[in-house]
Amino acid sequence: MRVLLLAEEANPEWFSVPLEGWSHGQAIARRVDVHVITQVRNREAFERAGVAPAAFTAIDTEHIERPLWRLGNLLRGGQGKGWTTLMALKALSYRSFESQVWRRFGPAIRARAFDVVHRLTPLSPTVPSRLATWCRRAGVPFVLGPLNGGVPWPQGFDGARRREREWLSYVRGAYKLLPGYRSTRRDAAALVIGSRDTWQQMPERWRDRCVYVPENGIDPARFPLAEALPPRAPGPLRIAFLGRLVPYKGCDMLLAAAAPLVAAGRATIDVIGDGPEREALARQAAELGIAHGVAFAGWVPHQQVGDRLRQADVFGFPSVREFGGAVVLEAMALGVVPVVLDYGGPGELVTPRTGFALPMARRDGIVANFRDVLAQLAAAPDALVPLRAAGRARVRRHFTWDAKAAQMAQVYDWVAGKAAKPDFGMPLPD
């Protein structure tokens, strides 16, 4: 099996989608014969990681990327906000990227030098792909995904939505009017869907080509699954939050929920991450009288996150609009029990055997539900033991990058006519 893998966003030295694109792509390359196409900004990182020059091609679209990036930052009000705006502009720059890919690799695709062409990133379903049509005409199956995005803003959080400058999210469905929306889905041989929300957005007429494979995975080199879990140290319940400190991540709700425990000396909170809400969160902790029990770690390099996170008992993460939830998998891999909302990606990763996925509610309801669970765990921390073991086993079974590459290899076999369509379950079973 020879695969042309498009990973426009793929970088081992970054985080979020670029790190996913890199990790997933390298795992796929360990299973099939892959040539990776990425954007030129990633070239030096590929070289530093030891990827042979013949194994990848870097496409230079900086003449479009740079001005669009500057425009995006202007429109969205700075870093970390307005992601819907950024994705709208991404559709423009990605069109140029694919045009260059076709000019350089179109003859090889038409000559059947590749068995499959796979667009691994970008993940957003709002970014169309003309390669789907070009590959269909050439007789080469085109795989798209995992696609993930479009989790609706829940009721009661319009304030957070405005503070995130998500103005375009009110009309996000307009992407279905973009040129290429229909042809991308019509001409792709497989549509890999990364979440239930994205599955529900897919029109019924194309679902026969959909396969559910959650977007996120973990790297056992950074989050070792083979090591035995140490016993829990005695003392107060150690709660960790990990993520950007922005309104929709809900760290303020975690502080409010855990405040009675922290004030009584029965819990501590380690806030790992940084962002525009940090000062407000520090003020909130002081006003609640729990500043002595809340540590703000600031930004921690990704390679060091595991060492910090593994010191916790519980991962408290009341994010109200999380697409994937890689941090949830990282917590489970380290034996840290997640308490999340059953909404978006985290609710598909956590099961009753591995943690707590609490119902979506308005702010007061979320705080009350988190408070109840945290109080139960503080009173009976032995209940964490089976959850820790089951969470690690679930990650090992389904969510290492090698496990996900094995799933993708089955998708390749299906579109190449070598096997039946795979069905991994939705959500993935324990």
pLDDT in tens, the chain (430 residues): 999 999 999 999 998 899 999 999 999 999 999 999 999 999 999 999 999 999 999 999 998 888 877 776 676 666 666 667 666 777 778 999 999 999 999 999 999 999 999 999 999 998 999 999 999 999 999 999 999 988 888 888 888 877 777 766 766 677 787 889 999 999 999 999 999 999 999 999 999 999 999 999 999 888 888 778 888 888 999 999 999 999 999 999 999 999 999 999 999 999 999 999 999 999 999 999 999 999 999 998 877 888 899 999 999 999 999 988 899 999 999 999 999 999 999 999 999 999 999 999 999 999 999 999 999 999 999 999 999 999 999 999 999 999 999 999 999 999 999 999 999 999 898 8
Cα–Cα distance between 212 and 346 in angstroms, integer? Answer: 15
Q: What residues does CATH 3.40.50.2000 cover in the chain?
A: 237-397
pTM: predicted TM-score of the whole model, two decimal places: 0.92
Largest Cα span, the chain: 70
Q: How far is CA 286 from CA 215, 253, 294, 368, in A?
A: 38, 15, 9, 20
pLDDT at position 167? 67
How many Cβ atoms from other residues are within 10 Å of residue 430's Cβ? 12
pLDDT at position 178? 80
Strand locations in 251-367 (E): 267-272, 294-298, 314-317, 337-341, 356-358
Using alpha carbons only, what angle is made at residue 350 by residues 349 and 351, rounded to the nearest 5 degrees?
120
Q: 264-301 burial, b if ≥16 CB within 10 A, otherwise e?
A: eebbbbbbbbbbbbbeebbebbeebebeebbebbeebe
Q: CATH number of 237-397: 2.60.40.1180, 3.40.50.2000, 3.40.50.300, 3.20.20.70? A: 3.40.50.2000
pLDDT at position 281? 98
Q: Please check whether residue 309 is in contact with residue 330, taking contact to mean a CB–CB distance below 8 angstroms.
A: yes
pLDDT at position 305? 87
Top-tier CATH class for 2-217+400-415: alpha beta
